[in-house]
């Protein structure tokens, strides 16, 4: 069981500065960070998984101990496959605690030995979420401060502005 590695799971639809804040801080604490795009093959997101992967990889290219993976299933199964039992989640606010703690307990039941650790995001990023980015993009709004410049460009291309 590797305790020096962690999985940072998410939908990353699309990656935001909030995700990157957590990934960057995790990369300074763990030997390896798996930034894992979890997806349900029966559900379509806004960005197809290969596009999400390409965007996340572009953002993580400078972090040598961060590996981007995609997985069409449940988190416990990915953790088992990678033999990584530390899951990292970011907190934007206390309001997220209930759901996050329930998910942590479920994952510990599904794969005993799994620990979930939480990092609070930087205060100025607490309003940033992928769903807010998608909504703003659908109205052709300004994404500065929410996503990196290279991602803003991709989003603008997709939403035609
Ligand atoms: O970026 P998000 O939407 O907050 O990420 C949520 C995600 C993908 C981490 C979560 O929905 C997840 O783990 N999905 C995979 C299914 C699973 O293992 N669920 C947890 C126990 S039911």
| Pairwise CA distance, residues 38 & 158, whole Å | 22
Alpha-carbon distance of 107 to 78, in angstroms, equals: 11
Q: Which ligand 1 atom minimizes the distance to the CA of 38? A: 8
Nearest to 8 by CA among 49, 56, 46: 56
- Is 92 part of the annotated catalytic residue set? yes
Alpha helices in the chain (DSSP H): 17-27, 49-60, 75-82, 97-110, 130-138, 149-159
CB 106 near ligand 1, within 6 Å: yes
Residue of 92, 81, 100 whose CA lies nearest to 19: 92
**What's the predicted TM-score (pTM) here?**
0.97
Residue 3: its pLDDT value, please? 72
Nearest CA to ligand 1 atom 5: 10
pLDDT digits (tens, 9 = 90+) for 94-131: 999 999 999 999 999 999 999 999 999 999 999 999 99
Cα distance from N-terminal residue to C-terminal residue, the chain: 47
Q: What is the pLDDT of residues 48-69, one digit of tens each?
A: 999 999 999 999 999 999 999 9
pLDDT of residue 1: 61
Question: Which fold would CATH assign to domain 5-125?
Answer: Rossmann fold (3.40.50)
Is 43 noted as a catalytic residue in this protein?
yes
């Amino acid at each position: 069981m590797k305790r020096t590695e962690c999985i940072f799971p998410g939908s990353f639809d699309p990656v935001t500065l909030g995700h990157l804040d957590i990934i960057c801080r995790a990369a300074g604490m763990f030997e390896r960070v798996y930034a894992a795009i979890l997806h349900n093959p029966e559900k379509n997101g806004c960005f197809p998984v290969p596009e999400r992967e390409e965007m996340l990889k572009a953002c993580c290219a400078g972090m040598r101990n961060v590996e981007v993976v995609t997985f069409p299933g449940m988190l416990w199964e990915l953790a088992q496959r990678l033999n990584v039992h530390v899951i990292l989640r970011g907190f934007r606010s206390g309001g997220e605690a209930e759901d996050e703690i329930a998910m942590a307990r479920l994952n510990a039941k599904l794969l005993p030995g799994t620990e979930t650790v939480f990092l609070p995001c930087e205060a100025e990023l607490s309003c940033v979420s992928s769903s807010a980015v998608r909504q703003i993009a659908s109205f052709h709004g300004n994404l500065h401060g929410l996503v990196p410049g290279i991602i803003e460009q991709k989003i603008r291309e997709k939403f035609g502005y």
